[in-house]
Amino acid sequence: MIAADLRAIDEAAALWVQRMALPVQDSATAAAFDRWILDDPRHVDSYARMAQLWQSDGLRRALAANDSPDAAGIAPRLPGAAHRLWRRAALMIPAVAAAVLLLIVAPPLLRDPLRYAAPAGEMRAVTLPDRSRVRLAPGAQIAVRITPWSRDVTLERGQAFFDIAHERVRGFAVDAGTARVRVLGTAFDIDRLDGEAVVRVYRGTVSVGAGAGRQWQLSAGSGIALRGGNAITIDGITGSHPDWADGWFDASNTPIRQLIAHLNRGAAVPARLADPMLGELQVTGRFRLSDPEDALAAVAAIHDLKLHRDAHGLVLSR
């Protein structure tokens, strides 16, 4: 009975290794895997062994010999379903085994997300446990959860540039409220601001979802802005990283309210509009984020506005 139970566990583990090696899993599959692997400590051990076999040289040699005409009369063939399963296994990379090791030796990491934040006025560079790199704009904050089967980040506030370590087994997802981005290995920027999410892609391809079945595939040089139920595509993105990483804000028919919001992320002296309606005026140009007063003086000159200081900071008015 015990042997039969262990064999059933191993068979289930082998199937889970195959499923979780796919580049993308839906939420139902991920939830089912969570329940299965946490249900019994033996599931963890079996999954680790199957994952190691998945990437082993011995499996590759055995499958090659099993397909050899000379081997037909010497060694028995694996059953059809098992043979097909492990034939696909032989083609996958070893990331699953390393990830399962993480499950065994670092369970607290899987339970509690890691949080990273950049203080006001300062950028912060972060290297995640999977070797992905994130640059946080001033005031930005992310929550990170890395598991053997997924890599998930929530952009809780602000703007961040992601340079993702490529893996064929685990995808990388970023939730920015209005938008959810899924990738395998790429470089992209997400800006979360007042119910809006803007995604710009600098390398590779990303999938952006906005709920209700809406989804876009974006390649390098393109982007999308999502606000409410509206989606505006962006073209002509150049360079290897966003300009804010170098201290600049590039505006192209950008509402003044957005420029002020970006300036305030790193400003020691905040700026505001005397009349909220002024925020819909648009500007085009390149503004240094470290000098809000100079940037707003240029905006005032463009639209014939006034810039002054009061006890609370800079004020732009008619």
CA distances from 286 to 220, 256, 259 (A): 22, 13, 10
- DSSP one-letter string for the chain: -HHHHHHHHHHHHHHHHHHHTSS---HHHHHHHHHHHHH-HHHHHHHHHHHHHHT-HHHHHHHHHHHSGGGTTTSPPPPHHHHHHHHHHHTS-THHHHHHHHHHH-HHHHHS-EEEE--TT--EEEE-TTS-EEEEPTT-EEEEEE-SS-EEEEEEEEEEEEEPPP-SS--EEEE-SS-EEEESS-EEEEEEETTEEEEEEEESEEEEE-STT-EEEEETT-EEEEETTEEEEE----SSS-GGGGTEEEEEEEEHHHHHHHHHHS-SS-EEESSGGGGG-EEEEEEETT-HHHHHHHHHHHHT-EEEEETTEEEEE-
Check which CATH number belongs to the domain holding 267 and give it: 3.55.50.30
Q: Does one domain contain both 125 and 204? A: yes
What local confidence, expressed as pLDDT, does residue 195 receive?
A: 84
What's the confidence (pLDDT) of residue 187?
97
Residues 130 and 69 grouped into a single domain? no
Same domain, 199 and 268: no
- What pLDDT shows up at residue 317? 96
pTM, rounded to two decimals:
0.67
Per-residue confidence (pLDDT) for residue 223, from 0 to 100: 97
Last residue of a domain, one of 53, 77, 105: 105
Q: What is the CA radius of gyration of the chain?
A: 25
**Pairwise CA distance, residues 182 & 268, whole Å:** 35
Q: Return the pLDDT at 315.
A: 97
Sheet with 271-273, strands from edge to edge, namely: 271-273, 313-317, 306-310
**Letter for the amino acid at 44?**
V
Q: Where in the sequence is the domain holding 255, given as residue range(s)?
A: 247-317
**pLDDT tens figures, 126-172:** 999 889 999 999 999 999 988 766 789 999 999 999 999 988 767 89
Q: What is the CATH number of the domain that holds 222?
A: 2.60.120.1440
| Residues in the chain, pLDDT under 70 | 1-4, 21-27, 51-111, 148-149, 169
pLDDT of residue 23: 58
* Burial class (CB within 10 angstroms; exposed 0-12, middle 13-18, buried 19+) of 7: exposed
Same domain, yes or no, for 189 and 126? yes
101 and 6, same domain (yes or no)? yes
125 and 101 housed in the same domain: no
State whether 177 and 196 are in the same domain.
yes
Report yes or no on 217 lying in a domain. yes
pLDDT at 155: 98
Calculate the alpha carbon distances from 220 to 179, 230, 247 in Å: 18, 22, 22
- Number of Cβ atoms within 10 Å of the Cβ of 227: 14
CA distance 173 to 181: 5
* Contact call for residues 19 and 25 (beta carbons, < 8 A): yes
317 beta partners: 306
Distance of CA 61 to the CA centre of its chain: 36
- Looking at the 3D structure of the chain, how many domains does it have? 3
Q: Of 105, 138, 161, at which residue does a domain stop?
A: 105
